[in-house]
Amino acid sequence: MLTITGLRVEVEGKEVVKGLTLEVPAGEVHAIMGPNGSGKSSLVSALMGHPKYVVTGGAATLDGNDLLAMEPHERAVAGLFLAFQYPREIAGVTLRSFLYAAHQAQSKARGEKAMTVLQFKDALSERMRALHMDPAFAERSLNQGFSGGEKKKAEVLQMDILRPRFALLDETDSGLDVDALRIVADGVKALRGPHFSALVVTHYARILHHLSPDRVHVMVNGKIVESGGAELATTLEQDGYKAFVPKTSIALDA
């Protein structure tokens, strides 16, 4: 599904991803954990094609297709999706119209028949209720006046509507209370299957308790330094990253 080999990424001339190699097979959910500044968010932003993040080396493929050769919209058409850590507000564009336009574009790109406006309205209301979102939010400007939790639910709602092949979740759990966290996790779990994979970036094991990832990876200083099962997340939450961070780095941070 997603294969990354020796990936190097720079931001404003500073290398933040340093020869990272990672593979997420079809149907699996993997998580990346690591201290602040380790390059986790930079990795997923570069994979999605954010122009701020410059790939200087390595390769990344999705279903065997060269991701790095594609424009961001082409990556979306290929089935890649990014749930933002800080979703943007877009005034004057309602959540419903935004999602319907995205649904039409993806359906056309996939050669599928798009839902009619009325069919989409009913489907959207049903999926919003499943995420415990008030259907009235569909008529609000995108993310404008939404709480942090509502913005994250709207990201999962978008993912549910678009049904990507591979989702990059950049700290989707940050700022969520216990109930919202469970609802968001359940929304991701509902998509799990042989044709859906995900890479979850998080600082906390709590969302992983709900998602039961197939693999957990530790990222430090731009590289994957350890991988293990779901139990690794619990160990990291209890003991921190001191076993993986060089003592020189700890001294500098102190």
Give 91-101 pLDDT, tens digit per residue: 999 999 999 99
User: What was the pLDDT predicted at 188?
Assistant: 87
Domain map (residue ranges) of the chain: 2-87+164-253
pLDDT value, residue 3: 97
- What's the confidence (pLDDT) of residue 166? 96
Confidence (pLDDT) at 254: 30
CB within 8 Å of 6: residues ≥ 6 apart: 19, 20, 21, 57, 58, 59
Using CA atoms, how far apart are residues 231 and 126, in angstroms rounded to an integer?
A: 35
pLDDT band of residue 148 (cuts 50, 70, 90) is confident
Question: Looking only at Cα atoms, what is the longest distance across the chain?
Answer: 60
- The confidence score (pLDDT) of residue 184 equals 86
Read off the pLDDT of residues 2-60 as tens digits, 9 standing for 90 and up.
999 999 999 999 999 999 999 999 999 999 999 989 999 999 999 999 999 999 999 99
How many CB atoms are located within 10 Å of the residue 89 CB? 12
pLDDT at 253: 39
Per-residue pLDDT for 248 more than 50? no
DSSP one-letter string for 152-170: HHHHHHHHHHH--SEEEEE
With 50 as the cut, is the pLDDT of residue 252 above it?
A: no
Q: Report the pLDDT averaged over residues 65-81.
A: 95
Label residues 184-210 b or e (16+ Cβ within 10 Å = b): bbebbeebeeeebbbbbbbbbbbbbbe
Other residues' Cβ atoms within 10 Å of the Cβ of residue 90: 13
Q: Give the separation between CA 107 and CA 164, rounded to whole angstroms.
A: 11
Report pLDDT for 198: 95
Please state the rounded mean pLDDT for residues 170-181.
Answer: 86
Q: Residue 69 — very low, low, confident or very high, per pLDDT cuts 50/70/90?
A: very high
CATH no., domain 2-87+164-253: 3.40.50.300
Tens digit of pLDDT for each residue in 76-88?
A: 999 999 998 888 8
Provide the terminal-to-terminal Cα distance of the chain, rounded to the nearest Å: 40
Structure tokens at 185: 């996790």
Number of H helices, E strands in the chain: 9, 12
Element (H, E) at 210: helix 206-211
Give residue 121's pLDDT: 94
With a cut of 50, say whether residue 241 has pLDDT above it. yes
Q: What mean pLDDT do residues 155-160 have?
A: 92
Q: What percent of the chain has pLDDT over 90?
A: 70
Angle of helix 95-110 versus helix 117-130 axis, rounded to 10: 110
Cα(85)–Cα(201) distance, integer angstroms:
9
What span, in angstroms and rounded, lies between the C-alpha atoms of 242 and 195? 37
Strand ranges (DSSP E) for the chain? 2-11, 14-24, 29-33, 53-62, 65-66, 80-83, 90-94, 141-142, 166-170, 197-201, 215-220, 223-228
pLDDT at 247: 55
Q: Tokens 């050769």 appear where?
A: 69
